[in-house]
Chain A
């Protein structure tokens, strides 16, 4: 008997949740767009919503096998600060697979600012990784994250160029910037 009552009470609670509480929550959520909710939930983990096309492209970024053949073909590499960008392949290996690493790529990629789009790196890649496209994509995402307040932001030159990653969730305070 006691058990029956307990079961009934549990069912009633579930029923109230399903029929009353959830719909109310839903209604309240309708005011906020799906994208904003995604951003609120995932951007602190440095994840951004992707279009189908962007997702498809990532498959090609993932194909890197760290063979180093792109490094051999890039003339720019001889003149970059190697402590910041040890090699082109390090970009593909270090950042190509994980979006949460994108903000960290910015410093490395600044070293490639005089890249002249010769595309020799892509021609040398046995796996067909679109390196140039990937570099542009990484930078665009790092910028989107910066705007959302979750990128890696440069401290003033006074701090010796040290980096910091914001820990708090500034979304509510800063107001979400819509990504373009």
Chain B
């Protein structure tokens, strides 16, 4: 099944694997990417978090936002086990190159993102609960355009008669942050089983201009006379043609339309997963899907460099049966400070809420050159590099740096793999 003719083999097709494959391909290497299935990347919200950049009320104040300019370095100094530290200042300095590369490829593949600026203030996004936060980047459809507060009048679309698109929480949350937030009530088109449509099904329908006309007519009527500047939609704006759909919504309603971040069954996550596949194909990366996945035995025969980007519990890079293990090479797993072996889950979790759970920081350890380490702290195998959430010492949820780690370590691992030669 596995080609041995490529220079580089990437195991894992999430954000980290895709970035690694693209980085290696950019250096003229032939690359094969092996993936079992979609992973956490396909479930993510669409926001590209590189570091915490402030939340809620504060994010809308210019003074606070400019004070967070050193946010990237702040993560590294606060949390010594974070992969941003492991790769060292020279590695961390390449985060701009890494982000520019992947965001550029995604734009070429039809999924434009808000521009990345390592020293900038980031962009405002809204999640489904109406929380507003600043992020390094997000899908262009998710960027809330900043305007003068006095002139801002935000409509939140609420679809009645649909089972899961109620944005009541979004409305309430936004009202806590901004003045002038009003509901825009729309009856979901009356059709058999329409109330059950999943976000991705709605997205597919909106991709087609004929499919969206009925809904758009309702939207136009609903905003009439409301004098809105912004219109917030649930995350449903197209699967393949998001820019077109958003432009059409803005035209029809005369507003700056924005989608919330993806929630459960995240359409933006799925959109990202597809755009990554298109970007890989465009770069000539050979994609192999194999439901059984790679194993150490199969990988042993591969003569080139390997990038391990197998993710964590969702992707399948880590698994906890009798004990917590890294699934392909059985590399040692730790939480950034202490090894994790067969401790029961109540030892690995805490009642203190986010951030304190050891198991959420679980993963393998790497050196500055992205090489996985064995129990003795030595590189585990020649020509093996690691990227993404399979690396431990950070909590993608609590640290607000999930995509940042995937993009930076993916980029660095891809470059190292491209340079590697068997000695």
Which A residues have a C-beta under 8 Å from some C-beta of B? 65-69, 71-72, 77-78, 81-83, 86-87, 89, 122-128
List 17 interface pairs A-B (beta carbons < 8 Å), by A numbering: A67-B42, A68-B200, A69-B38, A71-B198, A71-B265, A72-B198, A77-B201, A81-B193, A83-B196, A89-B265, A123-B37, A123-B291, A124-B37, A125-B37, A126-B37, A126-B40, A128-B291
Q: Which of B39, B193, B200, B289 contacts A126 (CB 8 A)?
A: B39
- Cα A83 to Cα B159 in complex, Å, equals 19
Cβ of B315 and Cβ of A126 under 8 Å apart? yes
- Give the chain B neighbours of A71 by CB distance below 8 A: 198, 200, 265
Does chain A have a CB within 8 A of B264? yes
Cβ of B291 and Cβ of A122 under 8 Å apart? yes
Q: A77-B201, A83-B193, A122-B291 are in contact. List 7 more A-B contacts (CB 8 A).
A: A67-B265, A68-B264, A123-B37, A125-B37, A126-B42, A128-B37, A128-B316
Cβ of B193 and Cβ of A67 under 8 Å apart? no
Q: Give the contact-size bracket for chain B.
A: 20 to 34
Q: Residues 239-264 of chain B: 1 if any A CB is under 8 Å from the residue's CB, otherwise 0?
A: 00000000000000000000000001
- Give the chain A neighbours of B37 by CB distance below 8 A: 69, 123-126, 128
- Give the chain A neighbours of B286 by CB distance below 8 A: none
Cβ of B198 and Cβ of A67 under 8 Å apart? no
- Cα A89 to Cα B198 in complex, Å, equals 11
Q: Is the interface of A mostly helix, strand, loop or mixed?
A: loop
Does chain A have a CB within 8 A of B224? no
A118 CB → nearest B CB, Å? 13
A43 CB → nearest B CB, Å? 31
B234 CB → nearest A CB, Å? 15
A157 CB → nearest B CB, Å? 20
Cβ of B43 and Cβ of A67 under 8 Å apart? yes
Most buried by B among A65, A122, A124: A124
- Cα A126 to Cα B37 in complex, Å, equals 5
Interface residues of B in 56-82 (CB under 8 A from A): none
Cβ of B270 and Cβ of A72 under 8 Å apart? yes
A7 CB → nearest B CB, Å? 43
Cβ of B200 and Cβ of A82 under 8 Å apart? no
B371 CB → nearest A CB, Å? 26
Q: In the complex, what residue of chain A is closest to B270 when comparing beta carbons?
A: A72
Q: A83-B193, A128-B36 are in contact. Are A123 and B200 (CB under 8 A)?
A: no
Q: In the complex, what residue of chain A is closest to B200 when comparing beta carbons?
A: A72
Cβ of B314 and Cβ of A65 under 8 Å apart? yes
Q: Residues 28-50 of chain B: 1 if any A CB is under 8 Å from the residue's CB, otherwise 0?
A: 00000000111110110000000
Q: In the complex, what residue of chain B is closest to A119 when comparing beta carbons?
A: B291
- Cα A72 to Cα B262 in complex, Å, equals 15
Cβ of A124 and Cβ of B265 under 8 Å apart? no
Most buried by B among A68, A78, A83, A124: A68
A81 CB → nearest B CB, Å? 7
Most buried by A among B36, B198, B315: B198
- Cα A67 to Cα B196 in complex, Å, equals 16
- Give the chain A neighbours of B265 by CB distance below 8 A: 67-68, 71, 89
- Give the chain A neighbours of B291 by CB distance below 8 A: 122-123, 128
- Give the chain B neighbours of A89 by CB distance below 8 A: 265
- Give the chain B neighbours of A81 by CB distance below 8 A: 193
- Cα A114 to Cα B201 in complex, Å, equals 20
- Give the chain B neighbours of A128 by CB distance below 8 A: 36-37, 291, 316
- Cα A126 to Cα B39 in complex, Å, equals 6
- Cα A123 to Cα B291 in complex, Å, equals 6
Q: A68-B264, A72-B270 are in contact. Are A126 and B196 (CB under 8 A)?
A: no
- Cα A77 to Cα B201 in complex, Å, equals 10
Q: In the complex, what residue of chain A is closest to B195 when comparing beta carbons?
A: A82
- Cα A166 to Cα B185 in complex, Å, equals 45
Q: Residues 355-370 of chain B: 1 if any A CB is under 8 Å from the residue's CB, otherwise 0?
A: 0000000000000000
Q: In the complex, what residue of chain A is closest to B37 when comparing beta carbons?
A: A126
- Give the chain B neighbours of A72 by CB distance below 8 A: 198, 200, 270
- Give the chain A neighbours of B38 by CB distance below 8 A: 69, 124, 126
Q: Which of B42, B43, B201, B316 contacts A78 (CB 8 A)?
A: B201
Cβ of B314 and Cβ of A126 under 8 Å apart? yes
- Give the chain B neighbours of A66 by CB distance below 8 A: 264
- Give the chain A neighbours of B193 by CB distance below 8 A: 81-83
- Give the chain A neighbours of B264 by CB distance below 8 A: 66, 68
- Give the chain B neighbours of A126 by CB distance below 8 A: 36-40, 42, 314-316
- Give the chain B neighbours of A69 by CB distance below 8 A: 37-38, 42-43, 270
Q: In the complex, what residue of chain B is closest to A85 when comparing beta carbons?
A: B196
Q: Residues 83-127 of chain B: 1 if any A CB is under 8 Å from the residue's CB, otherwise 0?
A: 000000000000000000000000000000000000000000000
- Cα A77 to Cα B196 in complex, Å, equals 11
- Cα A14 to Cα B385 in complex, Å, equals 68
B33 CB → nearest A CB, Å? 15
Cβ of B196 and Cβ of A82 under 8 Å apart? yes
- Cα A123 to Cα B287 in complex, Å, equals 14
B359 CB → nearest A CB, Å? 15
A133 CB → nearest B CB, Å? 12
Cβ of A87 and Cβ of B314 under 8 Å apart? no
- Give the chain A neighbours of B315 by CB distance below 8 A: 126
- Cα A78 to Cα B201 in complex, Å, equals 8
